[in-house]
Amino acid sequence: MPMRNAEIAAAMEELGTLYELDGAVRYRVLAYREAARVIAQSPVSVEDLAVAGRATELPGIGATLQEKIVALVETGEIPSAAKLKQKFPASLVEVTRLPGVGAKTARRLYDELEITSLAELREAAAAERVRGVKGLGEKFEARVIAAIDRLGEEGAPGRVLLSKVLPAAEELAEALRDHPASERVTVAGSARRMTETCKDIDLIATATDPTALATALTAHPLAAQAGTAGESGARIVTFSGISVDLRIVPPDAYGNLLQHFTGSAGHNIELRERAVKAGLSVSEHGITELDGGDVARYASEAEVYGRLGLDYIEPELREGNGEIAAAAAGELPKLVEVDDLRGDLHCHTTLSDGRNSLTEMAAAARGRGYSYLAVTDHSASHGFGDHVTPAALWERIEEVAAYNADSKRRFRLLAGSEVNIATDGSLDYDDDLLEALDWVVASVHTSFRLSGKEMTKRVIAAIENPRVDCVGHLTGRLIGRREPYDIDVEAVAEAAAANRTLVEINGNPNRRDLSERHARLAAEAGVSICVNTDAHGVDTLGNIVYGIATARRAWLTKRDVANTRSWRELLKLRGRQTSLLR
């Protein structure tokens, strides 16, 4: 069983903390944290890279970490970590994860009170023994008890899916914009970067009467709890449990603050490090010249980036993944937009498990300004009583033809199917039926636990089938609920590029599959990507924003995304002949 990048990253994170407990210099600890971040974000197997001696190609990984990763994947253990665990129990690492408790505090608790775990810490705090430690008092005891108890509760603060966060963020921002005291209000933070999940909502505003605007937030119907509203802003928790931070700032530094609070941390760190080399210090308050001390404040982000010699960087790119170097070189991509799309190539109707009819879906797609919609209900072996028999699909093809026969419409329905890929890579309709379809999406819906080798072979067999136009939700992951199945995305991308088979970014906010990292890898391998919703009703065609968000976070341009083209151009791209071209 290969080791997942997330496991390797967790081991690096743990080792960093063990070193921190051991009193290592700060920068060594930071190096492990940064390495963990880079490993977790790698689109390719870090185990494979390390075994091939190539992990040093990742930024922040040098010879030492390369060697440690090899030891980890080959023996299941890093010698230096094992040694440190003799010195400190591994459960002490958990103590450092408690909010407000870091390695320094955990170490002191261990040295002075022999506390080795969260349970022992809670007991000591309850017995008022912690206040005997220098620098820690009553408030600390109360705080750690509350924090430990919160860990055990249901719905402990975690990351929330963007589709839960974004509507609330926009509703609150809109309400604040409507307030007479407000001037500008922008959603910042990870929601603005359109990450898959968010920890909280950050709102940045300017106002003629800051306290009045802050009070308006605390009084909003979404607020379940509210802190005190002041000149600098307010904080609330929504009924759905999302914390919201409103920061009200002076208008002349709005650009600096918005840039700062949009992040990400990695992006901001890299930005500031680069600025220091140019003799500038960047903070949320302005850009200071290191000699002379002149502070420049900017009302817009574009001016902030401009002062640093950079092109404006779209929020979706601000992850510290090369965007700053690209901005300095004037080589940022022009990112694909929702309005670039001409159609959606994956959706369902009541024929399988959708909630709306063929004509209702068509009307909704036309309403969005699309010029085509591929209707791809599930196939013959789908199960759940939602399968589509060959006879029913032949009938559907006729239905689509009848719809399209009305030539007054500048819109075309595409007769399609989302066909199951069997474990041997075969499909569950006969070739003549597949041949009669305009658009075939092939997806894995069964036997997720195949070995990586078998799963890769299975999907590549479908890719090589000339009747397959596109692979659906390639890795099968459900964000926060189901891990992706084991599959070699690099090998799949290579096969897809060679066969001119498309791979989709599924815009269902639970999936976003391809992930942004896999999508970037696939596009660089020459794969044509399409961005689809997999909508099961007219209401979820709007999920295209999440698919496009992933495409943008993958650095994709309009040219990289196949369904920005007309249906005719798309067919050419596929190298497929159908009745439409005759």
Per CB under 7 A, residues contacting DNA are 25, 27-28, 30-32, 35, 56, 59-66, 80, 96, 98-106, 131, 134-140, 143, 232, 265, 268-269, 272-273, 275-277, 281-285, 288
Give me the amino acid identity at 172: L
Rank residues 105 and 532 by Cβ distance to DNA and give the closer one: 105
Q: Is 377 helix (H, G, I), strand (E, B) or coil?
A: strand
Reported as type and span, the H/E element at residue 128 is: none
Give me the amino acid identity at 274: R
Rank residues 273 and 294 by Cβ distance to DNA and give the closer one: 273
Q: How far is the CB of 235 from DNA (least distance, A)?
A: 10
DSSP 525-569: TTPPEEEE--BSSGGGGGGHHHHHHHHHHTT-BGGGBGGGS-HHH
Q: How far is the CB of 85 from DNA (least distance, A)?
A: 15
Rank residues 135 and 152 by Cβ distance to DNA and give the closer one: 135
**Among residues 402, 350, 401, which one has the least CA distance to residue 377?**
350
Q: Is 338 helix (H, G, I), strand (E, B) or coil?
A: helix
Rank residues 19 and 372 by Cβ distance to DNA and give the closer one: 19
Reported as type and span, the H/E element at residue 342 is: none
Rank residues 27 and 384 by Cβ distance to DNA and give the closer one: 27
d(CA 73, CA 78): 9
User: How, if at all, do strands 412-420 and 372-378 pair?
Assistant: parallel
Rank residues 80 and 557 by Cβ distance to DNA and give the closer one: 80
User: How, if at all, do strands 280-283 and 286-289 pair?
Assistant: antiparallel
d(CA 43, CA 22): 32
Q: Is 222 helix (H, G, I), strand (E, B) or coil?
A: coil
Rank residues 140 and 448 by Cβ distance to DNA and give the closer one: 140
Q: How far is the CB of 84 from DNA (least distance, A)?
A: 11
What separation in angstroms does the CA of 300 have from each of 49, 138, 258, 327?
41, 45, 8, 17
Reported as type and span, the H/E element at residue 233 is: strand 233-238
Q: How far is the CB of 378 from DNA (least distance, A)?
A: 42
Q: Are 210 and 219 in contact (CB under 8 A)?
A: no
Give me the amino acid identity at 233: G
Rank residues 276 and 580 by Cβ distance to DNA and give the closer one: 276
Q: How far is the CB of 70 from DNA (least distance, A)?
A: 12
CB-based contacts of 339: which residues, under 8 Å, 6+ apart? 369
Q: How far is the CB of 282 from DNA (least distance, A)?
A: 6
Q: How far is the CB of 179 from DNA (least distance, A)?
A: 23
Torsion sign over Cα 522, 374, 397, 353: positive
Rank residues 281 and 566 by Cβ distance to DNA and give the closer one: 281
Give me the amino acid identity at 190: S
Task: Give φ, ψ of 549 to 5 degrees.
Answer: -60, -45
User: How, if at all, do strands 182-188 and 201-207 pair?
Assistant: antiparallel
288 - beta bridge partners? 281, 295
Q: How far is the CB of 273 from DNA (least distance, A)?
A: 4
Q: How far is the CB of 56 from DNA (least distance, A)?
A: 7
Rank residues 134 and 449 by Cβ distance to DNA and give the closer one: 134
Q: Is 467 helix (H, G, I), strand (E, B) or coil?
A: coil
Rank residues 285 and 366 by Cβ distance to DNA and give the closer one: 285
Q: How far is the CB of 222 from DNA (least distance, A)?
A: 21
Q: How far is the CB of 97 from DNA (least distance, A)?
A: 8
